[in-house]
Every structure is written in structure tokens, then in C-alpha cells.
Amino acid sequence: MKVRLRIQRFNPEKDRKPWWGEYEVEAEPVDRVLDALHYVKWYIDGTLTLRRSCAHGICGSDAMRINGRNRLACKVLVREAMEEGRGVITVQPLLGLPVIKDLVVDMEPFFANYRKVLPYLINDDPPPERERLQTPEERERYDDTTKCILCAACTTSCPSFWANREYIGPAAIVQAHRFIFDSRDQGATERLRVLNEWFGVWRCRTIFNCVEACPRGINITRAIEEVKLAILTGRLA
């Protein structure tokens, strides 16, 4: 099938402002939007710049705005995107992070927020000889938030983040949740303190964009609510 793409282009080395590149490519209906972008890059204009690696939705490299919604280019089929965009697929970089070139944004502010929540297991007890025990129920408690691939689709879809770039953002809260509710972890107090600060969870207005955006299907709003509740009650129910 013929696929039409409108891609937001911007190379600060030579462009004064962003512009729209329009391309027509030949694709199979079951091709991914990533395949269509590759087609442009490989056979039409090699200067088109994007990040990608795994091509099947696991590495988190290619989060971008497709038809106005944050998604992984490798996880949307052109057929669906064409229907949705009524015959043209619109592709833009994520909002709220500085554009380095075309679809590539500067991820450093995102990772800086991630690092703030102490995203690692904290347990100062001497470890046992074998594995620490954890029941399947305890393991299930934080399963959802272990799936995060740090793609930034959620954080950059959040109006609270657009309004204030200091907001730590849903992804960092998801990461904090993954440890706070892990029965082996002892760092909850410290993480909850961070998340209770002015740039923390209270900036979440429960708008649900993040849940919509998450390619891993994580129920982000629920995770955020659980963190808020833990701060309010002091309990990890």
C-alpha cells in the first residue's frame, strides 16, 4: 500500500525552525511505522534522524508522537496509523524535551528525574546464603511496574510535565513504585520523602494521558495513586 508521512524535521545545525517533510512510501499493511520511517531514511532522505534498536517494542528507543499520540514507532502498524490519520501519518518528536535533531530528543532531563527516586533495591541486611524468599503474592504486588522500559512516552504526554518541567513525571513514580512495594526493599521512606516534595506526586492531576501512552500497558495512574496513599497513610498496603 501507499503510505503518506508528514514528519516534523528540525536540524539546529542548519534550520532556523522546524518544518514538515512530506513523503510517500510503499509499504506492506503489516509493516510498522518504524519500517516506513526507515524507508524514508534509507531510500529517500538519509538525513532523517531517529533512534531505534530492537524493532519490537522492548528497548524503548523510538517513542515519538504519531498522529498526536505518544507511541513506539515499532509497535504501531502503518495500516492502523493510516486509518487513524485519515490517509496520512503525522510523526513528531516527543513534547517537553529539547529536540536534538528531527525525532531525537535530549533524554537527560528524563533520566535525571529517574535517578532522583533511588531506582535500585535498598536492603542493608546481610544477604542470606541463598535467594531472599518472596511469595508469589508479594512478587505480584509490584509486577506491573517492573515492566517499564524507560521510553518516556508517559512523562512527555503529561500536561503537568509540559506546564512544569521540574515535575518528576509518571515514569519516575512508576520506578519508585517498583521498589516501594517490593517486600525485599527497605528504602520506601526515603523514596516517599522525595515524591512528597513540591516536584513530586502531588503535581499529578490524574489526567490519564500517561496510561494511554504507555506501550507496556502499565496502569500508571493506579501506581501513582498507590504512592499517594502510602504517603498519606504511611502504610504500604
Partner 1 sequence: MNVHRHPFDAVVVGAGGAGLMAALYASKHVKTAVLSKLYPTRSHTGTAQGGIAAPLGNMEEDRPEWYAYDTVKGGDWLVDQDAAELMAYESIEVIIELEHMGLPFDRTPDGKIAQRRFGGHTRNFGEAPVMRSCHSADRTGHMILQTLYQQCIKQNVIFFDEFFVTDLILEDGTVRGVVAIEIATGDIHVFHSKAVLFATGGAGRIYKVTSNAHSLTGDGMAIVWRKGLPLEDMEFFQFHPTGIYKLGILLSEAARGEGAVLINDKGERFMERYAPTLKDLASRDVISRAIYMEIREGRGIGGKDYVYLDFRPETINRFKSAPGGMEVTAEYLERKLPDIIEFVRVYLGIDPMREPVPIQPTAHYAMGGIPTDVDGRAIRDEHNTPVPGLYAAGEVACVSVHGANRLGTNSLVDLVVFGRRAGRHMAEYCRQADFAPLPPEPEAFTVEMVERIRNGTGKERAPILRNELQDTMQTHVSVFREASGLETAIDKIRELQERYRHIRIDDKGYRFNTDLLEAIELGFLLDVAEATAFSALNRTESRGAHYREDYPKRDDDNWLKHTLIWRQDGKVTFAYKPVVITKWPPKERKY
Window 60 to 79, contacts with partner 1 (CB under 8 A): 60-61, 75, 77
> From the CB of 12, what's the least distance to partner 1, in Å?
7
Contact string (CB under 8 A) for partner 1, positions 197-236, x = contact: ----------------------------------------
CA distance 45 to 121: 45
Give the nearer residue to ligand FES in terms of CB position, either 154 or 204: 154
User: In the set 3, 40, 151, 201, which binds ligand SF4 (CB under 6 A)?
Assistant: 151
Nearest C-alpha neighbor of 204 from the set 235, 174, 157, 159: 159
Read off φ and ψ for residue 100, nearest 5 degrees.
-85, -45
Q: Which helix (H) or strand (E) holds 160?
A: helix 159-163
The one of ligand SF4, ligand FES, partner 1, none whose footprint includes residue 213, by CB under 5 to 8 A per kind, is ligand SF4
Scanning 41-49, 82-90, 143-151, 224-232 for contacts with ligand SF4 by CB under 6 A, the matching segment is: 143-151
User: In the set 1, 20, 24, 54, which binds partner 1 (CB under 8 A)?
Assistant: 54
CA distance 160 to 162: 5
Q: Is 3 in the site for partner 1 (CB under 8 A)?
A: no
Instruction: Enter the C-alpha cell of residue 30.
Output: 503489516
CB atoms within 10 A of CB 8: 17
From residue 64, how far is each of 16, 144, 205 by CA, in Å?
22, 23, 23
The one of ligand SF4, partner 1, ligand FES, none whose footprint includes residue 174, by CB under 5 to 8 A per kind, is ligand SF4
The one of ligand SF4, ligand FES, partner 1, none whose footprint includes residue 72, by CB under 5 to 8 A per kind, is ligand FES
CA distance 211 to 148: 12
